[in-house]
Structure 1
């Protein structure tokens, strides 16, 4: 009479568990990158919408001399963003989406800071005013203590041309 063994040895089970762990680790990293890319898209859409509204404001108010141009408050812009809320800075020149604070600066530029709670994180997006200028208008810049990770993220999103100072990345 022959005895046959059924089942797996402990070594075989451990090998399978280790392989599943490695695959899960790789998958989790890819999942995190996909989530950050979707958040980036939110900031890109919100910032571009605010910049377009700022440009429209300047074109509609051409009676202002260039030296007297005032940057518009968010309330003056004909725009509404989904899920907009009050910024952590409580400014009339700022609007908050779920993951970004979009700020209109005194030069007419628009900044979209990536946020985690009330803290600015990794990178920000920048739109320069388009009136009277032939310069590149959209940039991504690393921000905060982990500037290397922010720069790597900007590059991974297609921003590869560096500014002379090296702090801004433009779309080629």
Structure 2
């Protein structure tokens, strides 16, 4: 009979701990939603005058505290190579694969001149877009532990969490939730 009481007691304790873990996870998730940066999207005029790197960046949606990545470009002259074959028959800008120019916004002064001159692109601000990707899972027993997960699904979100400008928003949510629940215990 003592075994039956202990099993029942351990289930009640586990349920109580699971509720507490759920509360902490919900607080972390809410704090992350409150602290998450807005998102931004690179938008072009989508016409023939848009340079190739900006055309590639069109629609790039990222957290607002990280930089856009634009493919770097170099100008290739019209002409023939040493072997006599045509090099870029029409001449013009060529995208460099795997090489990026970074910008906080269109016409960012950090960009090379050829990326900014006469640029008509815009950055559209999307408040709440990163926050909408925050999720928490219910607490689940796993052996001797009870765990819950808080996650964020958004492009380049890990980079956002560790960004120089406004990073650490998820870690701050976890610290605040831990402090809140630590104070409740006392």
Q: Does TM, scored on the shorter chain, surpass 0.5?
A: no
Structure ranking higher on relative contact order (CA contacts 8 Å, 6+ apart) = 2
Which interval holds the TM-score relative to the shorter structure? under 0.3
Q: What TM-score, normalized to structure 2?
A: 0.26
Looking at secondary structure, tell me which structure has more strand per residue.
Answer: 2
Point out the structure with max Rg over C-alpha.
2
